[in-house]
Amino acid sequence: MDETSITLRVELRADTLLGPGQAALLQGIRETGSIAAAGRRMGMSYKRAWYLIDTLNGSFGEPVVTAAKGGRAGGGAQLTACGEAVLDGYRRMEAAAAAAIEGEVAALRALLKPDDA
């Protein structure tokens, strides 16, 4: 394993956490155009996915996702400019954090028991 695999959760404010779950959901909505489909591919109920998006929508000055009501096409959801900025910002934070700890991770990995021990 060469890449540095991390989980990063950031407290933007006391009531506003941004972590891998929210990021994966936003990315799923970007890719599927649907809150339900984005949740489903994470094994998340529609209710839970909707709750996470509703919470984010209430935390930022602009909504992060806009959803159209159902109908023949089954509604649809998409990231707003704010949602794109949040998702892109999170991905940049993940990459920056992983890069910043590379040296420490290598040093700690050198202390691990050999895999075949």
Note the residues at the interface with a copy of itself (CB under 8 A): 1, 4-14, 16, 18-19, 58-62, 82, 85-86, 89-90, 92-93, 96-97, 99-101, 104-105, 107-109, 111-115, 117
Which CB atom, from 68 or from 95, has the smaller least distance to a copy of itself?
95
Report the relative pairing of strands 76-79 and 65-68 from DSSP bridges. Answer: antiparallel
> 29, 79 in Cβ contact below 8 A?
yes
Residue 71 Cβ, how far from a copy of itself at the closest point, in Å? 30
Which CB atom, from 47 or from 113, has the smaller least distance to a copy of itself?
113
- Which residues have CB under 8 Å from 32's CB, separation 6+? 38, 41
* Strand-pair partners of 77: 67
Residue 19 Cβ, how far from a copy of itself at the closest point, in Å? 7
Residue 94 Cβ, how far from a copy of itself at the closest point, in Å? 9
> 42, 25 in Cβ contact below 8 A?
yes
Q: How many CB atoms lie within 10 A of CB 73?
A: 8
Which CB atom, from 68 or from 106, has the smaller least distance to a copy of itself?
106
Which CB atom, from 4 or from 32, has the smaller least distance to a copy of itself?
4
Residue 101 Cβ, how far from a copy of itself at the closest point, in Å? 4
Sign of CA dihedral 15, 21, 27, 32: negative
